[in-house]
């Protein structure tokens, strides 16, 4: 009778299993490292892109704020001149054109249009997490808070503006104001307009006083606006300097 002998497979040493485990572990670990490095690079790239985009927006915003502050100051001085005229000058002691010219500044709307697309995206998409530097995130937060405070102050103009407009329209015919609505008129054209004769819709001094009284609110608001703009400009310039230094931007 034929007897079959079973062949015996040699047992693998524990070192064999150790090396198999080690190779598998290293493969997984290296894959993890590669993925981590890739994710880290993507985050750094996005951080730099956001920083650059925010930097460009801020350059525009700070330029807008500087111009807005100049306009703010110019308009406020004209409003205060009109208020002094109403208080101290008889109506017919000056040409009607002078009253029209200075009176029109009470309804000059002072708005600021920020380039806030990048900042809005950072806040809404969670993009702020890409910025690891505390100085950067703190500066962004301070600038954003200052912008929101300024916008609140700007929004406060709306009800006052409506009141100013309705009161102004009791006195002045807006048709004649078209000629001097631009802030870039030459001194010669302004002087010529101020000497013109044109009719008032009302010559009642009480109507002029009422308009001047509301102009006082506008003047005070404008002065507060100037302070808010100055604060926002300062925060914007601080953030610009930090971004420039941190990311080597120009």
Q: Is the pLDDT assigned to residue 114 strictly greater than 70? A: yes
Say how far apart CA 100 and CA 46 lie, in whole Å.
54
What is the model's pLDDT at position 147? 93
- Name 225's Cβ contacts closer than 8 Å, sequence gap at least 6: 72, 110, 150, 153, 154
Structure tokens at 231: 């604060």
Contact 119, 140 (CB under 8 A): yes
Residue in 113, 210, 107, 100 with CA at minimum distance from that of residue 157: 107
CA distances to 82, 91, 106, 188 from 98, rounded to whole Å, are: 9, 10, 14, 14
Contact 181, 137 (CB under 8 A): no
Separation of alpha carbons 231 and 68, rounded Å: 13
- For residue 27, give both structure tokens: 């493969």
Q: What is the pLDDT averaged over residues 217-238?
A: 95
Q: Which of 21-35, 126-140, 171-185, 209-223 has the lowest mean pLDDT?
A: 21-35
What's residue 228's pLDDT? 95
Tell whether pTM > 0.75: yes
Please report where in the chains the tokens 């929101």 appear, as a residue. Answer: 148
Q: Residue 130: what pLDDT?
A: 81
DSSP code of residue 34: H
């Amino acid at each position: 009778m034929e007897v079959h002998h079973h062949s015996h497979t040699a047992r693998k040493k524990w070192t064999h299993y150790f090396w198999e485990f080690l190779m598998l572990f290293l493969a997984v670990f290296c894959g993890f490292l590669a993925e981590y490095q890739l994710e880290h690079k993507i985050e750094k790239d996005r951080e730099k892109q956001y920083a650059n985009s925010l930097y460009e927006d801020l350059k525009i915003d700070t330029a807008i704020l500087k111009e807005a502050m100049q306009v703010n100051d110019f308009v406020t001085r004209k409003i205060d001149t009109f208020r002094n005229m109403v208080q101290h000058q008889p109506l017919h002691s000056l040409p009607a054109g002078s009253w029209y010219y200075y009176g029109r500044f009470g309804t000059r709307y002072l708005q600021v249009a920020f380039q806030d697309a990048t900042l809005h995206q950072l806040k809404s998409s969670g993009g702020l997490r890409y910025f690891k530097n505390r100085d950067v995130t703190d500066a962004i937060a301070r600038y954003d808070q200052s912008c929101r405070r300024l916008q609140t102050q700007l929004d406060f103009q709306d009800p006052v503006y409506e009141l100013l407009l309705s009161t102004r329209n009791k006195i002045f015919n807006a048709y004649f104001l078209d000629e001097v609505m631009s802030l870039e008129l030459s001194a010669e054209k302004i002087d010529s307009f101020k000497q013109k004769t044109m009719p008032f819709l009302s010559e009642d001094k009480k109507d002029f006083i009422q308009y001047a009284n509301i102009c006082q609110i506008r003047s005070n608001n404008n002065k507060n606006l100037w302070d808010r703009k100055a604060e926002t400009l300062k925060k914007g310039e601080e953030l610009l300097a930090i971004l420039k230094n941190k990311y080597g931007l120009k």
